[in-house]
Chain A
């Protein structure tokens, strides 16, 4: 028996040797992501203090624990990306930032255990496993709405009609919106009108010639969730359509949905929301 345990220890020893090393050099606390120097800053050209020496800013310049980043002219602007604080803009009233801490890494034991627990607990934000697909996926003929998810897809009330597109399947398609009439068509798109969206919940059912069926459930919400204050809306040239669709449980917001189901007019809040989603922000309000 002791021999068996010895063998097991050897196996575990191999496992441990495969594990990554913990040794690391000094890691930065973050980077300079953008800078725009005005007035005295443009003249002097230096905005970083490191061990008594003033340094010029550069894009992607690492900044370390103990550095200070400062501006002399309040119209200058320096954008930092800090591991602990996220994006931070030094401008206006915030004219100096003393940097503290350093960036973590993904190879400490706690992170590894955390990752494994997260994997075993199941991942909820994976598009590939939540995208709605009808039968026939194995042959590549399934009906698929690339942006719709299982469960409810949220949609903003009071918007313009929405175009729902799908791929795959074999026409003609029988399409039914809510309790409306069943339409037969070859096109892989349909417009959801305001009438259908008058109900708080409705579903679109698509059945193809081979009886493959896909049901997309929608829930109409009265307002968009709040956008974090620090996220500013960007000019999107009206390209971003603002259909609000996300999975109920995973909060996975989909840009495809926003792009392909186009409808709402250009709107600063909406554009801000899109940018926020792009930064990985997830809505908490339902």
Chain B
């Protein structure tokens, strides 16, 4: 017996040598710091947001993306403008005029116009910029700020219940040159911004108002099948009927959504500039999906007066949606996102750039999610049965990344990751019970404890 074992050991010495060499190599790599790198890479790969990042890098721009330019009121701008406590409305007026003169297809202002002191009057320059706006369709969009409160005893989460009034409210109604929009981004449990509320309804008795997000307005206006602005108007009216009047309304023609929350398809972050942004084909022209420019380059502000820094090139913003927003540190308007920390204005720019894809993103029911997970699991199980561990792990990894990529574009990142997580859990459980069944079978057929050893 002993002689036979010894002979067996020597017969299989190449395998033992290979095992020893592998162990030495791994030990060397670990000692040289390779272990830390591998751990970091593994940790990065297993984090949900890293998968989202990889998916975003691989898949490029969302379908029918819109080109967006952010005019950012950054720290340098505030320093150039003499360090005012808030964005001067006169400078904002000049920025709006500049954006329009540069050929912007739409302008969204992501600056809270609600004053701290309710008696503060409207700034004459901004009022004039609104009155004289040449943007009729869509009109100038201003992001509205809300007061939060609970809407029911069952819903402890604080939600928007009232708008903060501004000195420009009557001007909007009177001129019809500007509209309020809402940019609400519900936080995930880990306080990362992954979703946008496409519309927000506020009720007062049976009356109410539904504020669209700029993304929804842009998706309607620039829908590849034609202008959907009329459909959107009808849709917003229906939301008031449903939520405030509590009456059933006919299903809308567009958009086909029941849930207002949708996953944001991030395509860029605060560090992205024209040279690193994805290129998209918009109306037959190749252009970067995102650009950003500091406001100080366009407008000067001194002694309470704003003036243009020069003539704007007529094509500077041609066919682009312009977002005017703050990014300076004092705004404290910075949020964690899957692509790193981003100012709210950059998140808003992302939502507008991917507006069409987000507004038309299908909503996956739990049944659909389970069916997809089971289908992917079946593919992975099939591969693991037919291939050795190394190739099966490689192929399964490729398939998982590809599926995560496709699903995230179809249903959004959160749904995709949920499906992948369920699939992988199913697969691990399957492998565990498969192995357990094999052990029980071998044990019951006389192998005893050796049934737990790996066979070569």
Q: Which of B102, B275, B308 has the most CB of A within 10 A?
A: B275
Q: Which of B53, B79, B293 has the most CB of A within 10 A?
A: B79
Closest beta carbon of chain B to A37's beta carbon, Å? 9
Closest beta carbon of chain B to A69's beta carbon, Å? 14
Q: Give the distance in Å from the alpha carbon of A271 to the alpha carbon of B79 in the complex.
A: 10
A120 at the interface (CB under 8 A from B): yes
Residue of A nearest to B76 (CB): A278
Within 8 A of B (CB), among A1-37: 1, 4, 8, 11-12, 14-15, 18-21, 23-25, 32-35
Q: Give the distance in Å from the alpha carbon of A83 to the alpha carbon of B277 in the complex.
A: 13
A106 B278 Cβ-Cβ under 8 A: yes
B316 A58 Cβ-Cβ under 8 A: yes
B313 A239 Cβ-Cβ under 8 A: no
Q: Give the distance in Å from the alpha carbon of A3 to the alpha carbon of B18 in the complex.
A: 33
B60 A18 Cβ-Cβ under 8 A: yes
Given A23-B286, A259-B330: A120 and B83 within 8 A (CB)?
no
Closest beta carbon of chain B to A140's beta carbon, Å? 8
For the A-B complex, the count of residue pairs with Cβ-Cβ distances under 8 Å equals: 173
Instruction: Encode A242-282 as 1/0 by CB contact (under 8 A) with B.
Output: 00000000000011101100000000000100110011100
Closest beta carbon of chain B to A252's beta carbon, Å? 10
A120 B44 Cβ-Cβ under 8 A: yes
| Stretch of A107-115, A148-156, A214-222 contacting B (4+ beta carbons < 8 Å) | A107-115
Q: Give the distance in Å from the alpha carbon of A259 to the alpha carbon of B334 in the complex.
A: 15
Given A60-B102, A105-B279: A128 and B386 within 8 A (CB)?
no
A40 at the interface (CB under 8 A from B): no
Residue of A nearest to B287 (CB): A25
A116 B402 Cβ-Cβ under 8 A: no
Which chain B residues lie closer than 8 Å to A14 at the CB level?
402, 406
Which chain B residues lie closer than 8 Å to A271 at the CB level?
79
A121 at the interface (CB under 8 A from B): yes
Q: Size range of the interface on B?
A: 35 or more
Which chain B residues lie closer than 8 Å to A126 at the CB level?
340-341
Q: Give the distance in Å from the alpha carbon of A133 to the alpha carbon of B182 in the complex.
A: 30
B310 at the interface (CB under 8 A from A): yes
B278 A58 Cβ-Cβ under 8 A: no
Closest beta carbon of chain A to B150's beta carbon, Å? 16
A58 B288 Cβ-Cβ under 8 A: no
Given A59-B298, A112-B58: A128 and B313 within 8 A (CB)?
no
A20 B60 Cβ-Cβ under 8 A: yes
Closest beta carbon of chain A to B358's beta carbon, Å? 17
A20 B286 Cβ-Cβ under 8 A: no
Q: Give the distance in Å from the alpha carbon of A167 to the alpha carbon of B50 in the complex.
A: 28
Q: Give the distance in Å from the alpha carbon of A21 to the alpha carbon of B4 in the complex.
A: 64
- State which of A8, A35, A120, A122 has its C-beta within 8 Å of the C-beta of B310: A35
B285 A58 Cβ-Cβ under 8 A: no
Which chain B residues lie closer than 8 Å to A1 at the CB level?
386
Instruction: Encode B50-90 as 1/0 by CB contact (under 8 A) with A.
Output: 10011001111100000000000011100110110000000
Per the CB 8 Å criterion, the residue count for chain A at the interface is: 65
Which chain B residues lie closer than 8 Å to A103 at the CB level?
274-275
Q: Give the distance in Å from the alpha carbon of A66 to the alpha carbon of B60 in the complex.
A: 30
Within 8 A of A (CB), among B125-145: none
A61 at the interface (CB under 8 A from B): yes
Residue of B nearest to A127 (CB): B341
B399 A236 Cβ-Cβ under 8 A: no
Which chain B residues lie closer than 8 Å to A59 at the CB level?
98, 297-298, 308-313, 316
Within 8 A of A (CB), among B301-340: 308-317, 328-330, 332, 334-336, 340
- State which of A23, A34, A140, A234 has its C-beta within 8 Å of the C-beta of B309: A34
Given A61-B313, A116-B54: A20 and B61 within 8 A (CB)?
yes
Within 8 A of B (CB), among A57-112: 57-62, 83, 103-107, 111-112
Q: Give the distance in Å from the alpha carbon of A255 to the alpha carbon of B50 in the complex.
A: 26
A15 B80 Cβ-Cβ under 8 A: no
B313 A116 Cβ-Cβ under 8 A: no
Which chain B residues lie closer than 8 Å to A106 at the CB level?
272, 275-279, 288
Which chain A residues lie closer than 8 Å to B189 at the CB level?
138
B402 A15 Cβ-Cβ under 8 A: yes
Q: Give the distance in Å from the alpha carbon of A73 to the alpha carbon of B59 in the complex.
A: 49
Q: Give the distance in Å from the alpha carbon of A255 to the alpha carbon of B316 in the complex.
A: 30
Which chain A residues lie closer than 8 Å to B279 at the CB level?
20-21, 24, 105-107
Which chain A residues lie closer than 8 Å to B405 at the CB level?
15, 18
Which chain A residues lie closer than 8 Å to B316 at the CB level?
58-61
A4 B312 Cβ-Cβ under 8 A: no
Which chain B residues lie closer than 8 Å to A279 at the CB level?
76
Q: Which of A19, A20, A35, A116 has the most CB of B within 10 A?
A: A20
A275 B329 Cβ-Cβ under 8 A: no
- In the complex, 17 of the A-B residue pairs with CB atoms within 8 angstroms, ordered by the A residue number, are A12-B402, A15-B406, A24-B279, A59-B311, A60-B293, A105-B275, A105-B276, A106-B275, A107-B60, A120-B54, A121-B40, A121-B41, A128-B335, A234-B79, A237-B83, A259-B329, A274-B79
